[in-house]
Amino acid sequence: MDSSEHVCPACGQPVETVVRRHKTLGAWVPRWVAGPCKNPKCETFLDREEESPEKIPE
C-alpha cells in the first residue's frame, strides 16, 4: 500500500484518498486512488458537492 499523500495532477494540491474497486480473478479488490480536486481555481475541479456512490453489481 502507498503511504504517500495523493496530489492533483493539474495543480499539485493535496487531495483525499478514495477507495475504488476492480475485479481480479472473480473477486472485488480495493484500490486506493486520488479523489477529486477541491480547488475551485484548478482546471480539474468538480463543480459538484459529492460524487454519486458506485453501484454494487449483484
Q: What's the rounded Cα separation, in Å, for the pair 48 and 18?
A: 16
pLDDT (tens digit per residue) in 6-30: 888 888 888 888 899 999 999 999 9
Considering the entire predicted model, what is its pTM? 0.52
pLDDT for 1 equals 43
Q: What's the rounded Cα separation, in Å, for the pair 18 and 46?
A: 15
